[in-house]
Amino acid sequence: MVRAPCCEKMGLKKGPWTTEEDQILISYIQNYGHGNWRALPKHAGLLRCGKSCRLRWINYLRPDIKRGNFTREEEDAIINLHEMLGNRWSAIAARLPGRTDNEIKNVWHTHLKKRLLKHNNTTSPTCSTSNLTSRYAEPGDVNFESPTSHASMSPQPSSSDDFSSVTEASAATGQNMIKDEKIELDATFLEIDDSFWSEALSADNSGDNQLEFLEGTNDQAQLQLLLPSNIDDGMDFWYDLFIKAGYGDTPELPEF
């Protein structure tokens, strides 16, 4: 099958959007929604391809977009989430309300990657990335320490270049790397409410995930996950569950 490029049609405009185009797009979507992106520009009277309209809306015009610089907390969350999810920018963005995947990707490439490399240069070669993210995690953060950081499944970098290559490789193969691994979430005791356990039990009954107590009670527990082979959905499930449980609230954090 040969697919025509989306902007192949002559006469379709490319490049930066004007405020007039923005207004047309905003008012059209406010009135009619965006059920069909490809048809939208034609109906709205825009000389753009649907793809361009969609991108403009998602990355810039949506009313729930949070403009302005990223806070330290948001940057920390990105670092932690990237360690866990790799370059899955949309998955990271889904956990940072008001931020887009494009924005997060840009921040990562322009700021955070350098910050990590710089950090790595100033610490010992055996310093793990989990230690690094622990430093950034603070009470109240939306982030939490990645399960993968406890699993000792990736080689530790010995230089900044090595670190870069390791993180890139982890991003590419991250899901495979943690399949069928037993992971201890041992950073802290979780404070857990009833809804957590009902959802966890529900997942367990389905046979997709397994959760074991290591220590603790029903409302404060140290947990161990036995991750399934088909981990893609499972990780998101557990991730959301742990966020709800406030797993990021680590009262005592290492300093360096």
Partner DNA sequence: AAAGCAACCAACCGCTTTCTG
Partner DNA sequence: CCAGAAAGCGGTTGGTTGCTT
Query: Per rule CB under 7 A, is residue 35 in the interface with DNA?
Result: yes
Q: Residue 20 or 252: which CB sits closer to DNA?
A: 20
Q: Residue 7 or 253: which CB sits closer to DNA?
A: 7
Distance, in Å, from the CA atom of 104 to the CA atom of 96, rounded to the nearest integer, reads 9
Q: Residue 36 or 158: which CB sits closer to DNA?
A: 36
Site for DNA in 103-142 (CB under 7 A): 103, 105-107, 109-111
Q: From residue 37 to residue 76, what is the string marking binding to DNA with x (rule CB under 7 A)? A: xxx--------x-xxx-xxx--xx--------x-------
Biggest distance spanned by C-alpha atoms of the chain:
66
Query: Per rule CB under 7 A, is residue 28 in the interface with DNA?
Result: no
Cβ of 245: how many Cβ atoms within 10 Å?
21
φ and ψ at 169, to 5 degrees? -65, -40
Q: Which of 30, 62, 126, 171 binds DNA (CB under 7 A)?
A: 171
Query: Per rule CB under 7 A, is residue 26 in the interface with DNA?
Result: no
Q: Which of 102, 123, 160, 175 binds DNA (CB under 7 A)?
A: 102
Cα–Cα nearest to 158, from 133, 131, 117, 126: 126
Q: Residue 174 or 248: which CB sits closer to DNA?
A: 174
Q: Which of 23, 27, 71, 90 binds DNA (CB under 7 A)?
A: 90
Q: Which of 23, 27, 36, 176 binds DNA (CB under 7 A)?
A: 36
Q: Which of 46, 77, 80, 89 binds DNA (CB under 7 A)?
A: 89
Count of residues interacting with DNA (CB under 7 A): 40
φ and ψ at 27, to 5 degrees? -70, -35
Binding site for DNA (CB under 7 A): 1, 3, 5-7, 13-17, 35-39, 48, 50-52, 54-56, 59-60, 69, 87-91, 101-103, 105-107, 109-111, 171
